[in-house]
Amino acid sequence: MKSRKSQVGAVRSSGPSKLYETSVFTNNRTVSRRLPALLHRLVALLVDETGPFFRKFGITIPATPVIVTLLENGGAMTVGNLSNTLSIDLSTTSHILRRLEKQNYVSRQRQVHDNHLVNAVLTAEGKRVAEKCRSASLLHEGALITGMSAQEVAQLKMLLEEAYKNAKESLKKIKL
């Protein structure tokens, strides 16, 4: 049996169009077992099960990582840095921040020395809500990794980051 690394190498060298011709994917011809379907089911479950908690605070699922990231970075970040950290585009970040600002969870402040830079800053109420969201997020992650070793968790995170990078680079190239 080939190692995972040699299987991935074979896929990378053949490119996305040859994906299902390699032995590593022969058991994934059924749509329900393909990675996009598995990821979709997982995300749908997370949204269904965690959404009600976040909605109690008027927080949307996309706003949750924004407010938690601000908390985990000392309560303030530039909007551009926040956008880059979360891998979401600047306009989406600004839209989420505008909504959080209306809820009095965040304030946006222009930097004195550079008027082009805007800081997103948690308010006292925003910090309180962000702490609850962070605790819930950690519990949700715990549920996802139940029964996995620390090594398996680290590997899963590494593989998901690699899949994200691959998708970002390759999906635009696929022509149907």
pTM for the full predicted model = 0.77
3-state secondary structure 17-58: HHHHHCHHHHHHCCHHHCHHHHHHHHHHHHHHHHHHHHHCCC
pLDDT, mean of residues 58-63: 92
pLDDT for res 23: 44
pLDDT, mean of residues 137-144: 94
Condensed to tens digits (0 to 9), the pLDDT of residues 7-35 reads 444 444 445 545 545 545 556 578 888 88
Q: How would CATH label the architecture of 35-171?
A: Orthogonal Bundle (1.10)
Q: How far apart are CA 52 and CA 40, in angstroms?
A: 19
